[in-house]
Amino acid sequence: MTGGASGIGADIVRAFAAQGSKVAFVDLLENEGKTLAVETGSLFIACDVTDIPALKAAIARVGEDLGPIRVLVNNAANDDRHAIDAVDEEYWDRSQAINLKPQFFAAQAVRAQMQKLGGGSIINFSSIAWRGGADNMPAYATAKAGIVGLTRALGRGFGVDNIRVNAIEPGAVITERQKRLWFKNQESIDAVVARQAIRNVLLGEEIARTVLFLASDDSRMITKQSITVDAGLR
């Protein structure tokens, strides 16, 4: 999976490891990645997902070291806030290079490995941000909307290989990063929880459960779909 060293990604790594899966993940955060790899017995590869050749090489290495990849989780992203008038071409391109482009090329690269297995599951991470009109992060929201379109296109294109492609749209998941940057006190967390239909704090482990479902044979006839996990916020 991509972006597995912290936050939701780390919860997903732990969830798969707890199931006895062979797990590999890439991330820029080397210290966090190495620590999680030791904790979970996973394979960690330091990689910048915007470097597509390096991303493809990491995917190839996983196939060589652990065997053909059956499940790909495209999780890496950056949800930095940005004012509309402050966005220039460089920022726009950088946002798409992090939040959208790697998802396509990772899926493209893993297809041959999944074909060897007779099928597989690709899980792309979108967000509810694009549905509500996130004017405080338009570049990010555009990428996340694009992921839903990409998911449908790849779901159709990869279906002949029995490869399922689905997306998850998380809501306000309270990770350590979110608390550090956006939810800096309990009052702000309580405010978003109050807007949810289910009044519990949404944690990464809940997103991980949905990933496990989409990775498993229980969802073997589900593809081209985008599942919202937001406790009814939207």
Q: What is the pLDDT of residue 110?
A: 98
Question: How confident is the model over 136-162, as a mean pLDDT?
Answer: 97
Residues designated as active site: 140
Number of residues assigned to the chain: 234
Both tokens assigned to 146? 């694009």
pLDDT digits (tens, 9 = 90+) for 159-198: 999 999 999 999 999 999 988 988 989 999 999 999 999 9
pLDDT digits (tens, 9 = 90+) for 56-93: 999 999 999 999 999 999 999 999 999 999 999 999 99
Q: What is the pLDDT of residue 30?
A: 97
Reply yes or no on whether the pLDDT at 234 is more than 90: no
Percentage with pLDDT > 90 across the chain: 95
d(C-alpha 130, C-alpha 142), whole Å:
7
CB of 226 within 8 A of CB of 198?
no
Reply yes or no on whether the pLDDT at 102 is more than 90: yes
Percentage with pLDDT > 70 across the chain: 100
Q: What is the pLDDT of residue 160?
A: 98
CATH number for the domain whose boundaries are 7-229:
3.40.50.720
pLDDT digits (tens, 9 = 90+) for 8-66: 999 999 999 999 999 999 999 999 999 999 999 999 999 999 999 999 999 999 999 99
d(C-alpha 112, C-alpha 232), whole Å:
37
Reply yes or no on whether the pLDDT at 132 is more than 90: no
Both tokens assigned to 41? 């017995």
CA 199 vs CA 129, 196, 202: distances in Å: 19, 6, 9
CB of 110 within 8 A of CB of 72?
yes
